Structure 1
Amino acid sequence: MYKKLDDLTGGYYELTARNDETNMLMDIGIHVLEAGESITLHDSVQEMAILPLVAHVKLSWETESAIVQRQDIFTESPYCLHVCKNVKVKLEAIDRSEILVQKTTNDVTFSNKLYTPEDCPNEDLGKGVWENTATRTIRTIFDYETAPYSNLVIGEVISHPGRWSSYPPHHHDQPEVYYYRFNKEQGFGCAMVGPDAYRVENNSFITLPGGLDHPQATAPGYSMYFCWMIRHLENNPWTERIYEEEHKWLLTNL
């Protein structure tokens, strides 16, 4: 499924719901707070990953708090607060803030963690291969390797102008959601999901069912950001990409 959100003028904007027809198994949405506004997030059955996009916000949970500021998702690495079920998190906007929240069911009680830019280094991939046509920057916030107690994976990609991402073509069993932004409002790219292709634009998202490959392309002149969010399946966590057989020859150039 592909959808473009309305302009983010305030309130909550839903991408997916845990029990909706997309079968993504996650509640994902964006809270928009004006300066001085505050909300409290709490879920009795779901863990939460709270990712400030463009924000200046105070986060408070249990006995801890932190002020997070991020103005440019293309040049600044993320902060992300990850909490288990039944933990209340208060968000207090110092300036206008846009905050993405990813949730899913998880019975495990684990230690809450605020990931900082130091925990999420930039990893440049695709340089020096395929004539540099798939150069991109990846920031993995947490995955099964670093947070095996979680049912979630979350990270970010900066896809460079005129380049490809999520490449070579691959799939996995677990459902995934991509949420897009561009460095200019009119920016665009292309998302392929199995045999289908979609024009992706600023503030759009796409749902990726398990089993379908999903390479992405970015239009020349524009940088494309996408937050990638995966839900582990029971007894089948996401740990690796399954490359499409006909394209495995590309791996010999890595």
Structure 2
Amino acid sequence: MSDDTPRWLHRRGDLARAGWESVVDESLPGWEYTGLRVGDLREHDAIELSETGVERIIVPLAGSFLVTHHHHPGEWSTRLHGRRSVFDGPTDVLYLPAGSTATVEGEGRFAVAEAPTSETRPWQYIAAAQTPVELRGAGRSSRQVHNFGTPESLDAARLIVCEVITPAENWSSYPPHKHDEHVPGHESRLEEIYYFESAPVRGGQGRDAFGMFSTYSSPAGEIDINARVGTGDIALVPYGYHGPAVAAPGYDLYYLNVMAGPDPDRQWRISDDPAHAWVRDTWTGQAFDDRLPYTNEQGRH
């Protein structure tokens, strides 16, 4: 495989750069509209966000952080109280518009969702208690979605961001769907990043937690991922049908979704694979998974 051949699945650390555990940006072949940085800081560590041509959402994964951010007309310091892990309910997040720079300091892991843009919006702090929590699906397709960066929740220029928690043995990103054609009112063109974490269920003692993730081709392009995924792994979906993401028995699965695209409107509109769309109808009358929602009050490991 040449350096210019796109790779759509990257293992933890494959994309390490300049103090970051992972960096996804336009330097990757075939990638244009979205970005992601994953940082892992020790006590008293700090790392800079110096690029001004992107908007960002800073998302604590585990730990607490202080963000000093600079943009017109001055400088602010915002404390992100965070959480113990991605399986302990929503976190507070910080949206920074294009033109901003920032320094993140603290101890723990955090993600920075990015999208190149020259448009600006007001910066915004979203507390964990203000994060819309959606319980989606039913039965073994039950999952929990934190919609802090969706069009209904955040005034951003390009970014659409959310996170999904899938309990052990459940399926999410299902039925398989795509968003790679501009069909007004029906489907939008969006690149998508999946950043994964996995952990033993509450009370579990397992190691090497994992889930499974799949993509396959659509008329917009050829892609094929059928892989075991775990903490720190990243899947890139430029086009094609994606899903399911499956949590293995004994292990809960988390993913952060980062989306943006070339369409004039910031909308998340999808088309299910016609071969599997009927599955949605089977959810009617099914009980929702009573393990959800996961909250900060429940505790973990």
1:68 aligns with 2:68: no
Task: Return the offset for 1:227.
Answer: 0.7
**In 1, Cα distance between equivalents of 2:127 and 2:197:** 21
1:159 aligns with 2:166: yes
Distance 1:211 1:162, change over 3 A: same
**In 2, Cα distance between equivalents of 1:218 and 1:149:** 31
Task: Return the offset for 1:118.
Answer: 1.8
Structure 1 match to 2:297: none
Structure 2 match to 1:49: 57
Tell me which moved more, 36-45 or 110-119. 36-45
Structure 2 match to 1:235: 264
Task: Return the offset for 1:203.
Answer: 1.7
Pairing partner for 2:129 from 101, 110, 118? 118
Superposed CA RMSD in Å reads: 2.2
Distance 1:246 1:236, change over 3 A: farther
Judge conservation of contact 1:135–1:164 (CA < 8 Å) in 2.
Answer: yes
- Within a 5 Å distance, the mapping from 1:23-62 to structure 2 comes to 23-61=31-69, 62=75
Deviations 1:12-40 (A, max 9, x none): 12241223214153231212221112233
Deviations 1:94-141 (A, max 9, x none): xx22121122211112110112212223322223xxxx1211111111
Structure 1 match to 2:105: 92
Residue ranges of structure 2 left out of the alignment (5+ in a row)? 1-7, 70-74, 181-189, 201-206, 217-223, 285-301
Structure 2 match to 1:209: 238
1:248 aligns with 2:259: no
Structure 2 match to 1:193: 215
Task: Return the offset for 1:78.
Answer: 1.8
Partner amino acid for 1:221?
A: G
Task: Return the offset for 1:210.
Answer: 2.0
Task: Return the offset for 1:58.
Answer: 1.3
Judge conservation of contact 2:157–2:266 (CA < 8 Å) in 1.
Answer: no
Task: Return the offset for 1:229.
Answer: 0.9
Matched positions, count: 247
Moved over 6 A (4+): none
TM-score by length of 1: 0.88
Partner amino acid for 1:79?
A: D
Distance 1:80 1:22, change over 3 A: farther
SS of the equivalent of 1:251 reads: helix
SS of the equivalent of 2:241 reads: coil
Structure 1 match to 2:192: 176
SS of the equivalent of 1:215 reads: strand
**In 2, Cα distance between equivalents of 1:249 and 1:193:** 19
Structure 1 match to 2:95: 82
Partner amino acid for 1:212?
A: Y
